[in-house]
Amino acid sequence: MNRRGFIKSVAAGCVYVSTPSFCVANAFNANQTAHIVSGANKKIIWLLLRGGLDGLHTVIPRQDTDVRALRPNLLANVLSQLLPLNNAFGLHPKLSFLHQLYLQQQMSPVIATATGYRRRSHFDAQDHIESGLAVTDHEDGWLARALAHTTGQGMAIARSVPIALREPQRNADTWFPSGFAEVEDDLHSRLSDMYQDDPLLRHTLEKVIKQNNNPLMQVKGKRKTNFASLAQNCGKLMASNPDIRCAMLEFNGWDTHINQANRLNNKFTQLNKGLMALHQSLGETWNDTLLIINTEFGRTVAENGTTGTDHGTGGCMFFAGGGLAKMSNNVAAIQEKQSLSDCIIEGGKVLGTWPGAAPEQLFNYRDLMPTSDVKGWLASALMQHWGLNHSQVNNVFPEVV
């Protein structure tokens, strides 16, 4: 091969490994050796809202006079439009699909919850919640540890494997729309010639070529990367392959220091559209799916001088999905553990305990006081939805169970 031909082939190879189908190839061919748990067809999708979603502008305590006094501008135009959850709380009006699920007992918000992280760095807080350990381990994620106790594969709708799906003994895979041109058959032939003396690369290429025959992986036309499109493709991938047991989605842009009301109107509209697309693309698989929505931390109770909020502590999370209506597994086992006894998940309810927003009730006199641990709710979800036992969940969240 001459110099020009070599450079051309290497460049083609770089394009090839940047395509979505390459990333998912291993997800459908990995060896299955983990212990099987109950609920073998049940799936989990974890959506991380990066940036610190303001829980008090999402699940709003409409009767709390302290909150209303601390947020006169933020709540001025939204209180009269809230979607009712119960006598004390309402959902932001742009989250109409989540409200519809709530009425069908397929969604439940959790109020005043937080991780054990108490500083205010987005990056550290996100790493902490993805790791799920008291001391963050960047190569050991909670979702990967949970997956190790079942069969099937994990997948991230992302350009690289996030911390949540990393684990020393188990590899997860990613899918993300590529901006490169579609791969032609001639490239397969040229790469096969290049890799003929390397068994590992040749074997990987063979798997990729086989995977390329999957119509789902052949994204035609413009490859969209907005949240609705990513959520839709996540649903298609999970519905089409029973080996994918869990997936991680990400949605950035929730850091609202300035002009929060207008910015969250836009973000909630996008979130609502994306969740509708996920629901539709999952089809019947939705009935056995649990969607978990988290953010890294909450925001200050008081609005700031630019009608936004700053980094805080207590926030909210959500459980949704057709699987939520069926979550009766292991309730007795959860009640046995003092650390989990208040984390039983039921559909169509506002979960968690409201701490109040009077000055003496706030964390550091500025943030919503957390009354439960995010990891406790995640542990209960694994027990109720996937049927994991105490020992297995203790492996996932050692300091909780």
The stretch 279-297 carries a mean pLDDT of 97
The percent of residues above 90 in pLDDT, for the chain, comes to 69
Q: Is the dihedral of CA 228, 234, 237, 238 positive or negative?
A: negative
Please say if the pLDDT value at position 382 is more than 60. Answer: yes
Confidence class for position 224, pLDDT limits 50, 70, 90? confident
pLDDT at position 177 is 85
Confidence class for position 282, pLDDT limits 50, 70, 90? very high
Relative orientation angle of helices 260-282 and 96-103, to the nearest 10 degrees: 50
Arithmetic mean of pLDDT over the chain? 86
Alpha-carbon distance of 94 to 112, in angstroms, equals 21
Confidence class for position 316, pLDDT limits 50, 70, 90? very high
Please say if the pLDDT value at position 386 is more than 60. Answer: yes
335-338: Cβ within 8 A, 24+ apart: 336/390, 337/390, 337/401
Helix (H, G, I), strand (E, B) or coil at 143: helix
Round to the nearest angstrom and report the end-to-end CA distance of the chain.
60
| Whole-prediction pTM | 0.85
pLDDT at position 34 is 36
Strands 372-373 and 153-156: unpaired
Strands 107-114 and 43-50: unpaired
Query: Would you say 178 and 18 are in contact if contact means Cβ atoms under 8 Å apart?
Result: yes
Confidence class for position 13, pLDDT limits 50, 70, 90? very low
Query: Would you say 139 and 169 are in contact if contact means Cβ atoms under 8 Å apart?
Result: no
Alpha-carbon distance of 220 to 195, in angstroms, equals 28
pLDDT at position 212 is 54
Confidence class for position 163, pLDDT limits 50, 70, 90? very high
Q: DSSP alpha helices (H): ranges in 157-253? A: 185-194, 199-212, 227-240
Strands 89-91 and 83-84: antiparallel
Alpha-carbon distance of 294 to 387, in angstroms, equals 21
261-264: Cβ within 8 A, 24+ apart: 261/57, 261/73, 261/74, 261/77, 261/78, 261/307, 264/54, 264/57, 264/58, 264/92, 264/94
Secondary element (H or E) of residue 244 = strand 244-252
* Contacts of 166 by beta carbon, 8 Å cutoff, 6+ apart: 138, 139, 140, 141, 144, 172
Helix (H, G, I), strand (E, B) or coil at 154: strand
pLDDT at position 210 is 53
pLDDT at position 11 is 43
CATH class of 37-182+221-396: alpha beta
Extents of the domains making up the chain: 1-30+185-217, 37-182+221-396
pLDDT tens, residue by residue, 58-114: 999 999 999 999 999 999 999 999 999 999 999 999 999 999 999 999 999 999 999
Longest dimension (CA), the chain: 76
Please say if the pLDDT value at position 314 is more than 70. Answer: yes
60 burial level (CB within 10 Å; 0-12, 13-18, 19+): buried
pLDDT at position 207 is 56
Query: Would you say 248 and 158 are in contact if contact means Cβ atoms under 8 Å apart?
Result: yes
Locus of tokens 């070529």: 209
* Contacts of 42 by beta carbon, 8 Å cutoff, 6+ apart: 245, 288, 289, 290, 323, 385, 386
